[in-house]
């Protein structure tokens, strides 16, 4: 699989002892990062949003909906997702594990 970037995954984990969320950071060395602009016309007018498709050739990584992916190496310790402001990042909306065929990978969709 062709790759064009690295990424940092932020996964939310609930800490029952502290009664709060904590964020686990995982570096993913090789990904295919693709960003495009999508738009639609609604009754409220034109809506635009950046959409992301990220393909990860390492299928052992645990990624789920509502995680965050940041393009490149990110060493920010976060307490909320707002701490990622100013980085090129996306919220994971889907993660499909394609473990068959010649190129097994995880296909991640995000906004």
Question: How confident is the prediction along the chain (111 residues), in pLDDT tens digits per residue?
Answer: 899 999 999 999 999 999 998 999 999 999 999 999 877 788 888 777 789 999 999 999 999 999 999 999 999 999 999 999 999 999 999 999 999 999 999 999 999
Radius of gyration of the chain (CA): 15
- Under 8 Å between Cβ of 3 and 57: yes
Does the pTM surpass 0.85? The reply is: yes
Pairing mode, if any, of strands 105-110 and 45-56?
A: antiparallel
For the chain, give me the number of helices (H) and strands (E)? Answer: 0, 6
Residue 54 has what pLDDT?
97
- Residue 11 to residue 29: CA distance in whole angstroms: 16
Pairing mode, if any, of strands 68-71 and 5-15?
A: antiparallel
Task: Tell me how far the alpha carbon of residue 107 is from its chain's centroid.
Answer: 10
Which two tokens mark 105?
Answer: 């990978």
Task: Tell me how far the alpha carbon of residue 110 is from its chain's centroid.
Answer: 6
Burial of 106 (0-12, 13-18, 19+ CB in 10 A): buried
């Amino acid at each position: 699989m062709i790759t064009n970037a690295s990424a940092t995954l932020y996964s939310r984990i609930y800490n029952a002892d502290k009664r709060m969320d904590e964020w686990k950071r995982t570096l993913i060395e090789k990904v295919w990062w693709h960003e495009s602009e999508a738009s639609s016309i609604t009754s409220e007018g034109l809506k635009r949003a950046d959409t992301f498709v990220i393909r990860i050739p390492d299928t052992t990584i645990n990624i789920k909906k509502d995680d965050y992916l940041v393009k490149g190496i990110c060493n920010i310790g976060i307490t909320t997702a707002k701490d990622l402001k100013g980085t090129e990042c996306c919220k994971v909306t889907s993660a499909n594990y394609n473990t068959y065929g010649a190129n097994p990978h995880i296909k991640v969709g995000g906004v």
